[in-house]
Amino acid sequence: MTMTTSIPTSHHDLLDSKFATIATIGPDGRPQLSEVWFLADDDTVRVSLNGQRQKTQNLLVCSAVNLFVLDLANPLRYLELRGNAEVALDADGGFADRVGAKYDTDLREMDDPGDERYVVTIRPRRVNAVDLSAE
């Protein structure tokens, strides 16, 4: 295990993964987890969330967040990114389109009329890069 503030090169490939698990803190102080798409720019990771989702509401109240990127081909290897989420309205849907381009889909087709999109930005304060298969 390597606990740092930046993502070690040994785990950089995981930033190109398609899926990550996001953990937020619910109104009851308990962890809530779900699977999300994400985009990475260097060590900064961003997620596009529909404002109606519980995880979005959680982050607007408590910014503590954890993004967990598992190597699906080797689940003994993963990246845990701990930090605060900056939540900003994606008013023109520009960020949703950037995420959509990665996944070759239109995120806003999943939304109901009137739903708003948010950009959730995570700049990790603690990075936990694990590879138990290498130990």
Per the DSSP assignment, residues forming a β-bridge with 32 are 24
73 exposed, middle or buried (CB, 10 Å; 0-12, 13-18, 19+)?
exposed
* 3-state DSSP helix/strand/coil % of the chain, to nearest 5: 25, 40, 35
Binder among 14, 40, 49, 70 for a second copy (CB under 8 A): 70
Which residue among 10, 31, 52, 61 contacts a second copy (CB under 8 A)? 31
Q: Confirm if 85 and 44 have CB atoms less than 8 A apart.
A: no
Min. distance of Cβ 118 from a second copy in angstroms?
A: 19
Site for a second copy in 36-65 (CB under 8 A): 64-65
Give residues in contact with a second copy (CB under 8 A): 18-19, 21, 23-25, 28-35, 64-66, 68, 70, 72, 75-76, 78, 80, 82, 128, 130, 132
